[in-house]
Amino acid sequence: MKISLFPKIFIPLVLFLGCTRVEETVLTKEKMQFIASQFENALAVTNDPTRIPKTINQNGELKTTGIYGWTSGFFAGNLWYMYELTGDEKWKDEARKWTEVLDPVKYVTNDHDVGFMINCSYGNGLKLTGNKQYEKVMVQAAKSLSTRYSPVVRSIKSWNSKKAWDGETIWDYPVIIDNMMNLELLFEATRLSGDSSFHHIAVQHALTTMKNHYRDDFSCYHVVDYDPLTGVVLDKATNQGFVDQSSWARGQAWGLYGFTMCYRYTNDKKFLDFAENIADYILNHPNLPEDMIPYWDYNAIDPNLSPEWNYDASKFPEIPRDASAAAITCSALLELEKYSGEKREMYLNAADKILESLFSPEYMSSSSDSNFFILNHSVGSIPHGVEIDVPLVYADYYFLEALVRKSHT
Ligand code: GLY
């Protein structure tokens, strides 16, 4: 079995001493200082690690989540990345504190997000410190996640029973594309414990997702609902996208990242080919703007087409972009390029272009517009009417991860 390509313990990277294109052109010392000051501002407002930065409200005030919110692991992850990027011990101390408060999350079995929550916090902490206690938390969290796997469906159930947007259909076994991201926790748990069952579940889930979530053009549905007794597909739909048939931007990014990561752990070429096909779909999409920061859904050309949603188009005369989708895509491309042959340069150039855009004043926050986050212009969920055109902690997470990955190219 192939395991993580990343060494268990990184020597902290001091980006300014490196010499990659992105550092020379866009990651100036001033920008790095600004990024650090945004985290310092957040830490000055909340030093209680059970009140975890997530986004801002309309007045620009910090909004937080508790330890069981799906985004709870990203802030700790951001602090680990700050430590990795700067080598400054103060970030390590904070990262420990914001990670270790998540310890009870390892027992979460009521949805699939335990993968995001524990891998982004403890997973990064483990790579940087080798802390044995963190290994135990990772393995317990993988056990919890595995309770949601059905050998009949051959997938992990993302959410418990839930109504679809039509208000009538009940999804009993909904699996969302985001779930691909939780597989990293399972692969890591096998690497750490030697128990191959986690790896097996991850591979089966990825294969089932490949088969049922994806369309011929390598775009994907957000939600696939299964009959838990037979494994038959009952519904293909959206929860956070524009319409069922559309391509929700963050979903496409989760898929690209997820299948690239599956290749890292399996060395199975079908995952690499699949990831390349998804990348090509994204990068060649006719609705991808010049600056490569996607609209929140690749098909969201006219928001008025879904008037049933709590979406006030007059408040958003321009279709919102989603910087979080761009950041995830960028980070994924910076891994994919390492495995790709002739497309390597293309993926690297695309990632550079995305980074350049995210670093521009159009997307990067400034002290006058957001005090706590790095990037503006992300979208949580337009159909739910929440977090539209705001900073989001996970956009920053994948942006910082992309910078770390970039420093290794
Ligand atoms: N996993 C939730 C989201 O991407 O919004």
Q: List alpha helices for 89-217, DSSP H.
A: 89-100, 114-118, 124-129, 132-146, 183-193, 196-212
Give the contacts of 253 (CB within 8 A, at least 6 positions apart): 282, 324, 325, 326, 328, 329, 332
Please, which pLDDT band fits residue 92 given cuts at 50, 70 and 90? very high
Type of residue numbered 318:
E
DSSP state for residue 364 in the 8-state scheme:
B
- Ligand 1 centroid to Cα of residue 176, in Å, is 9
What pLDDT score was predicted for residue 3? 26
- For a mutational test of ligand 1's pocket, the pick from 183, 250, 297, 378, i.e. the residue with the most ligand atoms closer than 8 A to its C-beta, is 250
Question: Annotated catalytic, 113?
Answer: yes
Q: What is the pLDDT of residues 191-236, one digit of tens each?
A: 999 999 999 999 999 999 999 999 999 999 999 999 999 999 999 9
Tokens of 126: 């483990």
pLDDT surpasses 60 at 140: yes
* Sequential DSSP letters for 1-60: ----SS-SSPPPP-GGGS--HHHHHT--HHHHHHHHHHHHHHHHH---TTSEEEEE-TTS
Q: Helix, strand, coil shares of the chain as percentages rounded to 5?
A: 50, 10, 40
What is the position in ligand 1's atom list of the atom closest to the CA of 324?
Answer: 4
Strand partners, 62: 56
Per-residue pLDDT averaged across 298-316, rounded? 68
Burial of 313 (0-12, 13-18, 19+ CB in 10 A): middle
12 vs 57, residue with greater confidence: 57
* Predicted confidence (pLDDT) at residue 12 exceeds the cutoff of 80: no
Cβ pair 150, 172 in contact under 8 A: no
Instruction: Output the CA torsion sign for 35, 36, 42, 44.
Output: negative
The pLDDT of residue 11: 37
Alpha helices by DSSP H, 284-372 = 323-339, 344-359
What pLDDT is recorded for position 310? 62
Whose structure tokens read 């549905």? 221
Which CA distances in Å does 243 have to 166, 178, 214, 247, 303?
11, 17, 15, 8, 10
Residue 124, token pair as written in the block: 């990064």
| Backbone dihedral angles phi then psi of residue 215, each to the nearest 5 degrees | -95, 175
CB 258 within 8 A of CB 180: yes
Q: 322 in ligand 1 pocket by Cβ < 6 Å?
A: no
Ligand 1 atom at minimum distance from 178 CA: 1
Q: Return the pLDDT at 312.
A: 66
Any ligand 1 atom below 6 A from CB of 352:
no
pLDDT tens-digit series, residues 58-80:
999 999 999 999 999 999 999 99
**Cβ of residue 387 lying under 6 Å from some atom of ligand 1:** no
Q: How many Cα neighbours within 13 Å face the side chain of 59? A: 3
The H-or-E segment that residue 62 falls in is strand 62-65
d(CA 331, CA 224): 26
- For residues 237 and 221, the answer to whether their CB atoms sit within 8 Å is yes
Probe residue for ligand 1, chosen from 72, 158, 220, 240 as the CB with the greatest number of ligand atoms within 8 Å:
240
Q: Angle between the 323-339 and 344-359 helix axes, to the nearest 10 degrees?
A: 150
Burial tier of 346 (Cβ tally within 10 Å: 0-12, 13-18, 19+) = middle
